[in-house]
Amino acid sequence: MTEYVHRIDADEHARIARFLRAFAIGVVLFVLLMIALFVTADRWLRLISIESERRFIEPYVSLLVESEWIDSDPVLQSYVNDIVQEINAGLDNNWDDDFELRVYVIDSDLINAFATLGGYIFVFDGLLEAVDDENSLAMALGHEVAHVHHRDPLLGTGRGMLIQLAISALSGNGMDPTAANVSSEVILMSYSREQELAADELALQLLHKRYGHVGGATRLFDIINDDAESSELEEFLSTHPDTDARIERLQALTAENGWTISQSVPYPDEVRSALQD
């Protein structure tokens, strides 16, 4: 039996060489395009309206609501929502006057709150119990409102999806399109140190605007430092690092602006009662 040996002639060799050159050029152009998109993401992502964000994320939020993961006392829901809306009303946002932030209070011992696409803000009962006064709570909520105002959820999600797309394309593995994967990517996220500090700064301004002083501004961070090993704080610490640096920054801003620190406002009786149930 004669063994077949394929020989590459000059024409075929030239075609293969042309293909490899075109492929290499395509890969380089794709990488350069992804780098350009990533570097300029802050500019072109902001062209997306917050209403478009909401239409994108709404189905995933609906899944959470239907799963009964979001379940809390209506008194707490109303109280937290009122504070968020009042804080947000003091901002010059770049969206329609009819657009409102949507707030969900979650029955959980976790000490955390987070903002996601479309102006959704999620607040855990554990946060209300930990800070234990309205000013400290308003500072934490103002921080999340600031993230929405700065479009941080959009910027973080956009960059993350670009990175995932680039890795998937270069590795040959497709992106996971499942609802669980998408919702975990766009709902639970972390921010850069610069984004966190900018949100702290705006939240401090909003706190002073609402109460005329900045009492309670660092309470949550003090709690974290006093009990950093608490299991209820693990999620907060994973997404909100550098608490000491942030306390120092808030104290410096308070001194620079000549703002005072006064007594915090206690929770209304009905809120305290709801937290004890």
Same domain, 165 and 35: no
pTM greater than 0.95:
no
Same domain, 259 and 128: yes
With 70 as the cut, is the pLDDT of residue 243 above it? yes
| Alpha helices (runs of H) in 132-173, residue ranges in sequence order | 134-149, 152-171
Asked if residue 223 is part of any domain, the answer here is yes
Beta pairing, strands 113-116 & 120-124:
antiparallel
Distance, in Å, from the CA atom of 196 to the CA atom of 189, rounded to the nearest integer, reads 12
Computed from CA positions of residues 80, 205, 212, 266, in that sequence, does the dihedral angle turn out positive or negative? positive
Same domain, 34 and 153: no
Phi, psi for 103 (deg, rounded to 5): -115, 135
Amino acid sitting at position 235:
E
Based on its alpha-carbon atoms, the radius of gyration of the chain, rounded to whole angstroms, reads: 24
- Number of structural domains, the chain? 2
CB-hemisphere CA count at 13 Å for 205? Answer: 11
Question: How far is CA 131 from its chain centroid?
Answer: 21
> 3: pLDDT confidence band, cut at 50, 70 and 90?
low
Q: Are 130 and 223 in contact (CB under 8 A)?
A: yes
Partners of residue 123 on adjacent β-strands: 105, 113
Domain carrying residue 16? 10-39
**Structure token digits, residue 22:** 């075109």
Same domain, 109 and 166: yes
Question: pLDDT tens across 88-146, in order?
Answer: 988 877 666 667 899 999 988 888 899 988 999 999 999 999 999 999 999 999 999 99
Asked if residue 193 is part of any domain, the answer here is yes
Provide the residue count of the chain. 277
Same domain, 87 and 216: yes
Same domain, 74 and 17: no
Same domain, 81 and 32: no
